[in-house]
Amino acid sequence: MTNPIFQTWQAPFGMPKFNDIHDHHYSEAFAQAFDEHASEVDKIANNPASPTFDNTIVAMETSGHQLTKTTDLFYNLAASDTNPARQEIEQAASIQWSAHNSFIYGHTGLFQRIKLIFDNLATLDLELDQRLLVKQVFSDFIRGGANLNAEGQLQIAAINQRLASLETQFGQNILAETNRFALILTQQTELSGLPEPVLRAAANEAGERGHPGKYAFSISRSSFTPFMQFADNRELRETLFNAYTQCASSDDTAGNTNIALEISSLRRQRAQILGFASHAHYMLEDRMAGNPDAVHRLLDEIWQPARKKAEQEAADLQALIHQQGENFDLEPWDWWYYTEKLRAARFKLNESEIKPYFELETVRDGAFMVANTLFGITFRPAPELPTYHPDVTCFEVNDSDGSLIGIFMTDYFMRPSKRGGAWMSQFRGQSNLASHVRPIVVNCCNFPKSSPCLLGLDEVTTLFHEFGHALHGLLSQVRYPSQAGTNVKRDFVELPSQIFEHWAMEPAVLRQYAKHVDSNEHIPEHLIQKILAASTFNQGFQTCEYLAAAYLDLAWHAATDSTSLTPDALERIEMARIGLPKTITARYKSTYFQHIFAGEHYSAGYYAYIWAEVLDADGFEAFKDNGIFDPATALSLRRNILERGGSGEPMALYESFRGRRPSVEALLANRGLAGV
């Protein structure tokens, strides 16, 4: 217990003492924690008493405390502040985890106890969350290969171990490629069109990359997008676009071409050993969707109006190009640039005009304000708490009665040690067994670091989105750790995050939090009206690029036969099948599609965002009908969704909140696709 990871952390609220923990402690902690958990599992399996819910299911829930503690701490830092030593540990730990899971799911004695409880579930006096826990544990063991013979279990173990290594390497290759590439600019002709906030962030990025006095643009989305929106130099836009879409596309050891192929092949093999037609069938059996056909039906229902609107948008952009005296055909690297010009012309709205009203801390405080108005919770800055990086800020979260809810951490700026994208995670999850364990939740983003840091509308939405996930983790009120917070079915987890996005651009909310960074004046009414008028602008493009990625995910994972196609060839075939306009590319191509290849949770599950959008669009209609801050509706959302985690069936939870099943019409209306 001399390892500081295992010691009881004496910092306030039991926060990790980050400065006391060094990289070698993680390797030592993993080795010891895996051994301890294995011993605990053996003890549960060898218990001479007859299997009961408490001595088997609850015992499993409470086992592995040190392993959970080590895992939550390490993987947060591996994602947000990595280094070569941590990347080596991550590779080793992924293989250790695979072997450990194989040990657990292949433990005959433990499985027999769980199976006996499951088989007699109807006769047991258990509450709903307990019955669901038994069903989930039993399902996890079946899906882990517990019903297979010894040969089958060995095959699954070998596949899982190889996948663990490949998935880790996939993500590390993307980070390396993102850090390797930079478009370094110095000439005014190269910088033409770029607003001052974008240049300020690029100058900061250049300085961090060792190019002081210059400007650097990377293939991180927060750097890539503003350059594509505003840079007048078409040749440079094409250069950056090609770098972005070819990220990690080589077929050598530094690229992800062969890794993607092997991952998809191994996943298909594993699924078929377990009795499923494909990896998608395997993954979706445990989701709200149930099977790939249901996912395709939803995607197809939205695809046709989205493509039709995108084609109209492309024609408008092409007309604008001709109006400006140019004679080239619209290309993908032109879309953002001319969309911004068309937005300014059509709605008299451009991002450089509105960004000063969305300074990062102002937007964050706006999200806090919405949470306070809806749920009565408060966020107190807690600079006394330890953090893992100077960019991290801590807040103590309290309920309306003053009681502690948990700790919220924000880590908003991009840096070379952080993977791309935005996410919510936890250093400690909520539970309420022997004692009430309060959560420690973190939001990570990749906003360009500058002073002041001004956000575009998409980035504002991202901040509200991740904060919605944070509320799901913070407000959780369940008994069992594995049902807490965001431990829900993957196509349900985006509901809290996406429904919270709606408040970001509500006029009544904008009038309160959107203030000019210099004058502190509230955003004027005419800008609010412009934002509303443009709310469905470019939605054909945005919907198509997202849906194209969701279709690509299924093309990889719903296949029942092996493929010798390269990722590039598979993408061309699938995009031709759905008829993706040539001026649009999928949001992610295979070699940098982290959601589906750098881990398994979103594999065959990238559709989850649009599935959950059906729920969130329909659900927000309740607030629009009753008032966006209606106390009764807010309380229903909190009690039936945010507090319940995975302790109820997702659709039943939604119906308890909404009073009925959802409809797709609200989604189509929100995206401007109704009647297209």
* Mean pLDDT to the nearest integer, 182-200: 95
What pLDDT score was predicted for residue 596?
98
Q: Give the Cα separation of 579 and 571 in Å (integer).
A: 12
The contacts found for 99-103 with CB under 8 angstroms, 24 or more apart, are 99/157, 99/161, 100/34, 100/37, 100/38, 101/144, 101/160, 102/144, 102/145, 102/153, 102/156, 102/157, 102/160, 102/161, 103/38, 103/41
Residues 655 and 600 in one domain: no
Q: Which of 618, 642, 629, 370 is nearest to 484 (CA)?
A: 642
Q: Over 90: is that where the pLDDT of 2 sits?
A: no
- Residue 71, amino acid: T
Tokens linked to 649:
């069936």
Q: How confident is the model at residue 352 (pLDDT cuts 50, 70, 90)?
A: confident
Tokens linked to 266:
């191994």
Enclosing H/E stretch for 424: strand 423-428
Residues 479 and 615 in one domain: yes
Angle at 637 between CA 635 and CA 642, to 5 degrees: 110
Residues 580 and 632 in one domain: no
Sign of CA dihedral 169, 175, 178, 179: negative
Q: Give the Cα separation of 186 and 202 in Å (integer).
A: 11
What pLDDT score was predicted for residue 144?
97
- How does DSSP assign 551-619, residue by residue? HHHHHHHS-SS-----HHHHHHHHHHHHT--TT---SS-GGG-HHHHSSSTTTT-TTHHHHHHHHHHHH
pLDDT in tens, 634-664: 999 999 999 999 999 999 999 999 999 999 9
pLDDT in tens, 204-240: 999 999 999 999 999 999 999 999 999 999 999 999 9
Supply the range of the domain harboring residue 282. Answer: 257-349+539-606
- Residue 339, amino acid: T
Residues 506 and 590 in one domain: no
Please check whether residue 405 is in contact with residue 474, taking contact to mean a CB–CB distance below 8 angstroms.
yes
Q: Give the Cα separation of 563 and 537 in Å (integer).
A: 39
Residues 95 and 188 in one domain: no
What pLDDT score was predicted for residue 563?
82
Q: How many CB atoms lie within 10 A of CB 424?
A: 24
CATH of the domain at 561: 1.10.1370.10
Which of 143, 162, 190 is the last residue in one of the domains? 143
3-state SS assignment for residue 660: coil
* Mean pLDDT to the nearest integer, 180-205: 95
Q: Burial of 194 by CB count in 10 Å (0-12 exposed, 13-18 middle, 19+ buried)? A: buried
Q: Is 466 a catalytic residue?
A: yes
Which of 143, 168, 197 is the last residue in one of the domains? 143
State how far the alpha carbon of 465 is from the alpha carbons of 337, 424, 614, 622, 658, in Å.
25, 9, 16, 19, 20
CATH of the domain at 137: 1.20.1050.40
Q: Over 90: is that where the pLDDT of 626 sits?
A: yes
Q: Which of 339, 173, 244 is nearest to 587 (CA)?
A: 244
The DSSP secondary-structure symbol of 674 reads: T
What pLDDT score was predicted for residue 190?
97
The answer to the question of residue 675 being in a domain is no
User: What is the chain's Cα-based Rg?
Assistant: 25
Residues 563 and 452 in one domain: no
Q: Over 90: is that where the pLDDT of 13 sits?
A: yes
Give me the numbers of helices (H) and strands (E) for the chain, helices first please. 28, 9
Q: Which of 634, 251, 303 is nearest to 475 (CA)?
A: 634
What pLDDT score was predicted for residue 381?
98
* Mean pLDDT to the nearest integer, 132-157: 97
Angle at 67 between CA 62 and CA 72, to 5 degrees: 105
The answer to the question of residue 5 being in a domain is no
Residues 515 and 646 in one domain: yes
Q: Which residues pair with 381 in a beta bridge?
A: 395
pLDDT in tens, 268-323: 999 999 999 999 999 999 999 999 999 999 999 999 999 999 999 999 999 999 99
Q: Over 70: is that where the pLDDT of 518 sits?
A: yes
Q: Give the Cα separation of 341 and 470 in Å (integer).
A: 35
The answer to the question of residue 174 being in a domain is no
Q: Give the Cα separation of 476 and 472 in Å (integer).
A: 6
Please check whether residue 349 is in contact with residue 530, taking contact to mean a CB–CB distance below 8 angstroms.
yes
Q: How many CB atoms lie within 10 A of CB 525?
A: 11
The answer to the question of residue 30 being in a domain is yes
- Where helices occur in 274-410 by DSSP H, the ranges are 279-284, 292-323, 332-347, 351-354, 360-375
Q: Give the Cα separation of 264 and 621 in Å (integer).
A: 39
Please check whether residue 538 is in contact with residue 337, taking contact to mean a CB–CB distance below 8 angstroms.
no
The answer to the question of residue 555 being in a domain is yes
The answer to the question of residue 252 being in a domain is no
Residues 600 and 558 in one domain: yes
Q: How confident is the model at residue 541 (pLDDT cuts 50, 70, 90)?
A: very high
Residues 518 and 377 in one domain: yes
Is the peptide bond prior to 452 cis by the omega test (within 30 degrees of 0)?
A: yes
The answer to the question of residue 427 being in a domain is yes
- Residue 318, amino acid: Q
Tokens linked to 136:
């989930």
Catalytic choice (466, 501, 545, 621) = 466
Please check whether residue 14 is in contact with residue 73, taking contact to mean a CB–CB distance below 8 angstroms.
no
Q: How many CB atoms lie within 10 A of CB 443?
A: 24
* Mean pLDDT to the nearest integer, 116-129: 97
CATH of the domain at 441: 1.10.1370.40
Which of 118, 143, 168 is the last residue in one of the domains? 143
Residues 425 and 293 in one domain: no
Regarding pTM above 0.85, the answer is yes
Q: What percent of the chain has pLDDT over 90?
A: 96
State how far the alpha carbon of 414 is from the alpha carbons of 204, 207, 212, 242, in Å.
11, 14, 18, 21
Q: How confident is the model at residue 676 (pLDDT cuts 50, 70, 90)?
A: confident
- Interstrand relation of 431-432 and 378-381 (parallel, antiparallel or unpaired): unpaired
Q: Over 80: is that where the pLDDT of 493 sits?
A: yes
Residue with tokens 């998608």: 280
Tokens linked to 358:
């969305």
Question: How many domains does the structure of the chain reveal?
Answer: 4
Residues 377 and 424 in one domain: yes
Residues 634 and 600 in one domain: no
Q: Over 80: is that where the pLDDT of 385 sits?
A: yes
What pLDDT score was predicted for residue 1?
62
Residue 32: phi and psi, rounded to 5, are -70, -40
3-state SS assignment for residue 522: strand
pLDDT in tens, 412-469: 999 999 999 999 999 999 999 989 999 999 999 999 999 999 999 999 999 999 999 9
What pLDDT score was predicted for residue 130?
98
Q: What is the overall mean pLDDT for the chain? A: 96
Enclosing H/E stretch for 428: strand 423-428
The answer to the question of residue 166 being in a domain is no
Q: Give the Cα separation of 304 and 316 in Å (integer).
A: 19
Q: Over 90: is that where the pLDDT of 10 sits?
A: no
Conformation bin of residue 595: beta by default, left when phi > 0, alpha when psi is -120 to 50: alpha
Q: How confident is the model at residue 386 (pLDDT cuts 50, 70, 90)?
A: very high
3-state SS assignment for residue 432: strand
Q: Over 70: is that where the pLDDT of 203 sits?
A: yes
